[in-house]
Structure 1
């Protein structure tokens, strides 16, 4: 059940949906379109305003003026996303592209203004402005009262109001066929918009999306639970292994400690003996070390003497080696200088010889150069003579070439003439052969045509007889079809009666269902309030929440829990008791005292307690308030005590008790818990009655549906029979027409054959004449070709003579060209040789100068080398004498070194003996120390091993330890077995016990989460079922109302006939197609596809007005929908506009003067005074009131407005538009 704030009814209509369905009784919608602003949209380049008043506003203008852009602007600002719907290839096409005199703009903006002065829109503004902008960069934005918003916000704002890009707010002529034939989706959107089920569809999609997410989460959670369960099982096994490991480790601790204590006790005596041995050895070791020191001193003295002798020998050896190196170096330098002296002498000899050769070569070069200069002069003369002779030959060759070209031109002209004659003769021969073949073919065709004419005459006779038989069959079939048509009319009457009964039963069922739904919704709401104890005092409610703290049965509950009454009695009791209705009944005074202490601690507010053990039962008067209520339980005494002696007076406006005291209550408050419980009881009774009434209507609807099914089947059978009869009639008529066509064709072919025979005879005569003429032309051409052949022979002989002369001239020219080239080549060689000789002469002179300088340098070097050799020979003699003295001194030093080595060997032997004796003592000491260290290390190793393994000091481990009563071997065996068992057990997880407990808690948590998700999934399924049920009820109620309104409007539009709206699948009304059936008066067709364009337009308008009757939109824009209507239907259309304009604004784009003059309260003219730019040229109101700029309209606009409505004298100041 939709409440007043449910967007399903839209913000244009605040009441609940039950009021939305019945809006046909309202006189006008609560909101109104006041203005349309466009700027840069399509042809509206400037900022323009369309101001709309109540009633009908007509927009007129010639074709191409841009008036249909108004409907595009309205659809676009309401959120249209399809560029195709805007008559463009892309959305940027709606921006003004410029004209011959204007540049393009970069933004399109459209705004719709709505009057919200009554506050009926769910926004705190007196005017609501919806704006859409689009930049040429592709950026788009929506604004609500100039504040940016989302398209979704605007869609939510207008949902359920009849507005929207996909709703029927804009009706175009091209949409009529789509609405009624091939576009069931758009048709359904109109109905859903009227029913307000769009919100429920969104909620269902949201619920389905949440259901899908819940399903995915549940699947993931199942996977996670499986994983955690596997982990728990694994940890369980690890826990058992960890516990076994702990048991084995504890036993091993006892065994290992027992072994360690026994081993350390056995090593204690050996360590004491080792300590005594170490003391004795440490006293003997110093004497051996002193003997080693004295031996080492003697060895050091011998070693020093040997080192001094060795140093002297090394110094003498060094001096001898240096002297020998100096002597050898002088010998090598002396040999090198002698070799250089010999080389210099040889080079002087070679340079002298080369100088003599170069002088002879220079003389030969000068002689060759003089001969080259003479050759060059001679060759230059020869080259000039050859050039003159070549020019003469070139002129002669040109003369012969021109003669050959003239002869060749004459020959080619003659040959071309011969080819033309022969080609013409061949064509004539071919034409003559073709004429002969055509003559033969025409003769054969004439003979075949005579046979065909005879056959056509025979076929014509047969066709005449078939035509007579076909006419008889047509008469019989038409009679059968007429009989079947009468039977169909009877079946249709029966079906119409059954259909009316079915509609009435469905309407009654829908009414019963709606009533039951309303009662059930109210009952559920009250039950929820009762469960939540809404209306109970806060202090009492808090006490009830904490009643457990006072013990079982201490706090029994509020007084109203023990009272029941009907509606009037409940109201009287609540008015009298007032705040006492919130009193809490407690068991006794002790419970009251406990509550008082709680009240003092918590301070929840005023609270009235009614202990049962202190109340006195005073009885009740027969006419007291206690007699009008029913009480139960132990609180009955308090009920009688409070109400037993009280009576209502003055029709319940006052109360009087047994003492005569009069109680006058204040202003009545809302119903309390007692009235609410009374209403719940009444609603339960009414709901049971409504369900019984619904069941009765359901049975009646089922019976009517069965009867309708029988009637429709009978109608269908009659229709099938009629169709078959009509098909037989049409088939017979088709056979008759086919026979008539065959007869006509036979007659036509016979006539054509006769005409063709005459044409063939004429053609034969023409072919005979043409054959003779072509033979004469061929003979003449052959004669002219023979004459031309003789002329060609003469021309060829003349051209041969000219070609021989040309060849001789060409050979002479070539000979002199070769001579000239040879002379030029020899001249070039002579010039190159002269140049080369000059260069070689210069090179030879430079080489002679170089050789003279080289001879001078070699002489000077020879003298210097001779002086150097004499000096080095004297120095070599001196160095050789010094080397002999050094060798003698070195031999004496080597003898001294040999004596020092013998003394050193003796000192080494004595030192070795002392060291062997000391080493023996050291080894004994070391052995004792090693054993002592070994035993001490074992004890320390045992200590460290135990402390490391058990993570405690040895003293702590031995504290309180009791050694096992087993022998050592048994302990070792058990220790090995324990180690083997632990190794076999392998590594264990020491945290397995804690991890197992943690994972077990996690598994329990995840299982709880899964249970919550399963419950949420079931809740979502239930929510989807409830949404479907509510949307189904809303849709069916709206569909029934639209169906009835459509019938009424259709009858008014067509002046009779029948129509209907049907659901293709009534069991699935939210998903099936909606079928439209319409039969204008006097027609039997049910298919709207067979209606004319005007009839389809009227059907569409009937459906549109039927939806408006169900749920009016603030305005409706019609774009040339009256174009298919004739004058009579225009009158009906105008009458309908006048009937509905009090509740809906109409903006009609039209070319029809009657629509403008008879229905329009205001007229806008749209024109293109500036090419490519639309502008508003006139706005007129009935009575001459002017609201916008007035310009005298052009002839086209004046004709569409209507001459009797144009008042050119009504002038006003121009508006900002």
Structure 2
């Protein structure tokens, strides 16, 4: 920013408003007699900029700044300065970029306020100081090295770094004192107090804990008595229920045996009746069924043959249509060739027509040009013969010049090329060994590359396989975790066992029954679970010896095993199953074996579980089949109702989400996925094992290849820098230039010959221009007539060819439509063939199904014949079976009476324990609220590893410890400890924060020191250069510089002023005259000012101690070196202010200062 205007009112000698206006942007001088008030203008600027040291404006108090200290009726001093803010944005004060001018005003009132305003808005002294970034440089001469360094620091703007550093060090000292005080408090007062209170708190907590534990232990003993009584009741009730259940079961068995006896007696009676009737009606029924199914079979065979005949005819029709389609396609190909030929002919005619039209246009243009006294050039443009001749001669001259240049260049190139080739031959004899090495290395590299290709190894393949193995292992882990969670919820599905002996074949253990088969449909899950019951979780093994080995090794839980070598199965015969399906329909009853899929090796185990039962759709069908005399077997409905021939019905509604088979069916995919993953991991590991030796060979060969390639690169680099290679490069470049020159000559020489002929031709025409024009006119007229005639001929020919072309296109369109229709018909016929094939397939299924039914009817008829023959044998055995059943009934009745007596005894014991529980509840009211927690694991009433004796011992120990603690317990320790710990934590946090703050301050100091060092080195270099330049300007023939003290490496150790005259250094500044010393000081100050120029400078009589010549030099120096800043100087010497652009003269009139402005006119 520059000062544009200064307004002074009531300030020092300026009693009335005085305006110093239109200040020059570069150099302004203020002069006047002593005492006129010229320096007061500079004082007003310092006053506005916020100076605080009043001695620098030559007063002792602010009141002295007011005119006559307020004695002349003026009570305030006001200074207003207008600054030009139309400068680049980086030089504008922050926040004032939108203002073109900034007006700063400062006013003081006698014994009153001191105010600042910026653009009419109140501001602070700091705001004004920040806007102008003021500094101070004084005391130049007689300074010590570190004092001069301090001046450089201030000029470079790093004094603030030192201030911040000192401030940070003072802060560190304060924090260190606070840190030591906090540490002393923690170590001497707080910590001992906390330790003592913690010990007292521990005793108090132990006392309260024992006190609470005593009550809990007492309660636990009572609860144990109550809980034990409850368990005894449950055990007694359970045993009573078991005895009752066993008695009921025996009763059921007696009832079932009685029913079975009755059924056997009925069967015996039925066998007799059937034998009497010879099973006539049933035989007739089966024979009729067989005949009916044979008729259906014959009808299906007939319809199938008819469909196959129709299919054959349709295939023949497709063959005929296909042949017709091929014929049309051949005709289409021929017609298209004819069309292409016709289009080619018409294309030639069109080209001839266009040529004739162009010739007609050229002839007309030529006639028009001749009519104007001109002719046409090769492009048909109208030009004069003179212009044509001039243009041709110019082009010919350019081509001849280019050819001569190329020939001269060619001669020079050939000489140089011959010389270089000779040099190459001489050098090549000496460098042949290196070329031999290169060829040898290239051969070895090619051999290694071929061996690598023959190895057929891809490094990326092994990486991909490793990644694939890792991904598969991760996926298997996820699947296994999901299966573990499922089996944890359904622990019975998990069978873990210890390997009985080394070499044990784990395939001998087939697994849990539920996991060995899969349902065909989910709707059968409930029924299959009811049929299997608890046997669903049995373990299938191959033989009894395997089970014995597993038992010897120990099992984690009790299981039932099914050895395949000793298991027998009771299976319904086909007669019962057939009868059941005839009674309720094939879609309403199912044999369980048919509803599941399983491995053939475990069929015996499956039949032992599912072989003696049927599954029905609803209860009515199940009941009908269970009690039918010909079926008479256990049945289960899809919803889980279980009917037994003994008359027992069990089951009812079951929750679908509780079905173990449904859950297992959903999770079975994970088992299959694990097997698949294991197979893929095995394949991957085998492939990696195969690649391992290949990788080793590959690494070895590849390493050799890299070594040889590096050797070859080194040889190539050596050859590249050899003289032979340099000459080869030059020869190649010269040969390219020779080829280029020859190409230019070959290209331009024919053009030169043509242009020469053209010039001669045009000169001949120019000689006889009249005859030439007449000849050209006749030629153009003939060309015009020929072109018109040719166009008339082409019109007729073109029309006939066009008509022929249209006919061919119509024929091609008709053939294409015919081909599309035939293809569409073939597609429809193929669709009909597919439909017929499906129908034939359905008839095949019907035929095959009927064959099975015919075969089944034949088998059933044969079965009845066999039964008729075996009927008598069955009647003989039935009587024996009935007697055996009656004997078993008598034995079961005796066992039933024994179980009934045991049940009554267990019920009596349960009553006694119930009375004990009632007595405890009456004595201890809390039992009613807490009893639901008795015996719960992890609760206060956890009775695992607990007995009455253990409880009594614990209670006695706690009582003894309570008496011991009562003597030392301090109940207030809890509150006191909390307060002390809070105080300790607060102090520890403060100490930690102090440590953190100290570290941050040291880091800041380190950063500031580094910034200071960088800025000082830069400033020293720049200020020294400017110092020397300014001093030599002020005192020609002299030089000055700032140098570190003797023995110092850089300016950080301090700076000294060194002066030289005519190249000879002065040993000391004391050798200089007063004027020379003043110039040294002034040069140093100005050099520092120039390092970071301020917008403006104010100087007060800096030339007072200098003679006239030096004064003029100062003025010149300011104009030459400080054109970027504004100077306002006070001087009494004309040699100085004559160099200023504007001079302000101050006079003292009538007791006040008056200013007049004068512009200097420099030539």
For Structure 1 versus Structure 2, the TM-score category normalised by the shorter chain is: 0.3 to 0.5
TM-score scaled by length of structure 1 = 0.31
TM-score by length of 2: 0.32
